[in-house]
Chain A
Amino acid sequence: QKEVEQDPGPLSVPEGAIVSLNCTYSNSAFQYFMWYRQYSRKGPELLMYTYSSGNKEDGRFTAQVDKSSKYISLFIRDSQPSDSATYLCAMSAPQGGSEKLVFGKGTKLTVNP
């Protein structure tokens, strides 16, 4: 079982739809949970991060973490064509006295006008 599982999609929605993106994980040692957005041929861009179980909201984006189920989600409200990108979940794990990020494979989202 991979440490982080993410459905690669692709996911195609009409403009204005609510989008739900999800990841599951197996490592209980993961501490921080992040969502990155990556436009085509660009570097990943940090959207949000959370630490504890619960919800965190930033504008149209809501990140949700359920540590008991080892499940994280990103919700996008009122989706826009400019949200079309690949969304990567990432989690921080201890690594020999330091930490590293483990990424999901990304979900490709297209928002159609």
Chain B
Amino acid sequence: DTAVSQTPKYLVTQMGNDKSIKCEQNLGHDTMYWYKQDSKKFLKIMFSYNNKELIINETVPNRFSPKSPDKAHLNLHINSLELGDSAVYFCASSQGPGQLYEQYFGPGTRLTVT
């Protein structure tokens, strides 16, 4: 039983394209996150949603637009992809926004922009 799942696992696309990544959690958590891990393995938060409401929006280009249709799902749409967007994107969830100490990560989506 996968707790946090993401699709697709791999995504290879050309510059300028628009793509989406989907995330689902079956843990009953209220809070979900998107992280970006660059080639040097540095993991940085991008967005956080609590009960479908955006609560954290780090300094991320507005080409990135998250959407949470319900508290179990969080999607990430990226417009006009650039080479620098190549990274692994992780979705995560926690019971609540103040319970980061038990945050569970998905397997990641490896995005390559050519």
Contact = CB atoms under 8 A, between A and B. Distances in A.
A32 B101 CA distance: 6
A32 B102 CA distance: 10
A42 B104 CA distance: 12
Q: Categorize the interface residue count of chain B.
A: 20 to 34
B77 interface: no
A95 interface: yes
A103 B48 contact: no
A106 B56 CA distance: 23
B56 A95 contact: yes
A45 B103 contact: no
A99 B45 contact: no
A31 B44 CA distance: 18
Interface string A97-112: 1111101011000000
B105 A43 contact: yes
Contact of B107 (A42, A92, A101, A106): A42
Contact of A92 (B44, B58, B100): B100
B21 to A, nearest CB: 13
Contacts of A36: 105
Q: Categorize the interface residue count of chain A.
A: 20 to 34
Given A43-B107, A98-B50, A103 B42 contact: yes
Interface in B8-30: none
Contact of A98 (B92, B97, B104, B106): B97
Interface in B77-96: 90, 92
B100 A86 contact: no
Given A32-B101, A44-B90, A86 B41 contact: yes
B101 to A, nearest CB: 4
B42 A100 contact: no
Contacts of B97: 98-99
B48 A98 contact: yes
A76 interface: no
B108 A42 contact: yes
A43 B48 contact: no
